[in-house]
Amino acid sequence: MVPTKLAVLSQVCLISTLSILATPLFASERSIPELVDAVNGTPDDASREAGKKVKLRNHAKGFCTSGEFTPNPALQDFLTIPFFNQAEIDITARFSLGGTNLHASDKASGRFMSLKIDSDKESLNFVTTNAERFFASNLEDFFIFQTKVKQGAEGKQWLIDNKPDASAFFDYIKLLPPSASFANSRYFGVNSFLFSASTGEIKPGRWIFEPVSGVINLSQTELANLSDDFLKTELLTRIKEKPAVWDLYIQLAQEGDEIDDPTVLWPETRQRLLVGQVIVNGDRDTETSTLQCDKGIFNPLLLPKGIAPSADPILNARTAAYVESFIRRL
């Protein structure tokens, strides 16, 4: 292993160890290697080794860019999170599609945005999707979903017939149109976190990113005139002229809302707190942190003081699964 890879691996393990130890998996749940195998479609030794050789990963088709985060000073009136009590903070962003196919078509509806917001002392990572609803509430159902979708139409039909959460997810995706740009997509953190309020209370909430330029979707006619690889060029060209900007909100739960189940949507009427603005402008695209963006993980459990994970089993398995996938690609 070359020194650079060793250094990156050491850093990944260091930032994730406490998260993994603090959130053990129950014996009844699937193991982390099994979950990664299900996502990668590598159910046996031969396929697993073949996957390692080609550095198989989820969200394979993607790219990195950069920008800054500007916190909303008024947030401190509601929440006690020192991380947000500062000026602009550097951002490393990765935009991607779902799945392991490096050549997936951009004409599908799925859009994903991951962010690293790094200050001198603390960091905050986001892993988000343009689908507000998730397809599984526990690791066993996550494993089953990933395994069955690899079986094509027959597996999908089995999920529709036997797994209500998966069926609801498919219904949602069926109505989700492809956006014209990564910059014109909403993004959701489907998992809940616990936020320290200025009153001393703990407030559960979820992240929502709203595009300042609005949600713009494509018709089938418009899609037909585009290539299968239009998204990267579109965004990188766009930000040369004008940054892509999102307002970041925390959607707060009310008493009785399901906190630990990402398949459950909360009403749109729930209170939102404006956290600040994400500004993607490409200003640091030649810096090492951006150029080596893929040589690490986006760890959603790397949290600053004042933010803690909920008990959601999907959330608490993410870091360990990302580390397992990362190690297989070394």
List residues forming the annotated binding site for heme: 322
* Cβ proximity of 211 and 278 under 8 Å: no
Please count the helices (runs of H) and the strands (runs of E) in the chain: 10, 10
Q: What is the H or E stretch that residue 315 is in?
A: helix 313-328
* Cβ proximity of 289 and 67 under 8 Å: no
DSSP 313: H
Q: Which residues pair with 87 in a beta bridge?
A: none
Q: What is the H or E stretch that residue 115 is in?
A: strand 112-118
Tracing tokens 């707060």 back to the chain, one arrives at 252
Start-end of H helices in 79-207: 139-149, 153-162, 164-174
Question: Per the annotation, where are the binding residues?
Answer: 322
DSSP 19: H
With 0-12 / 13-18 / 19 or more C-beta atoms within 10 angstroms meaning exposed / middle / buried, residue 235 is buried
For residue 89, CA distances in Å to 4, 83, 121, 141, 321 come to: 26, 10, 11, 37, 27
**List 30, 59, 94, 186, catalytic entry:** 59
Query: Is 103 considered catalytic here?
Result: no
Give the dihedral of Cα atoms 59, 69, 286, 4; nearest 10 deg. -60
Q: What is the H or E stretch that residue 14 is in?
A: helix 3-22
DSSP 210-265: EETT---B--HHHHHTS-TTHHHHHHHHHHHHS-EEEEEEEEEP-TT--SS-TTPP
Catalytic residues: 59
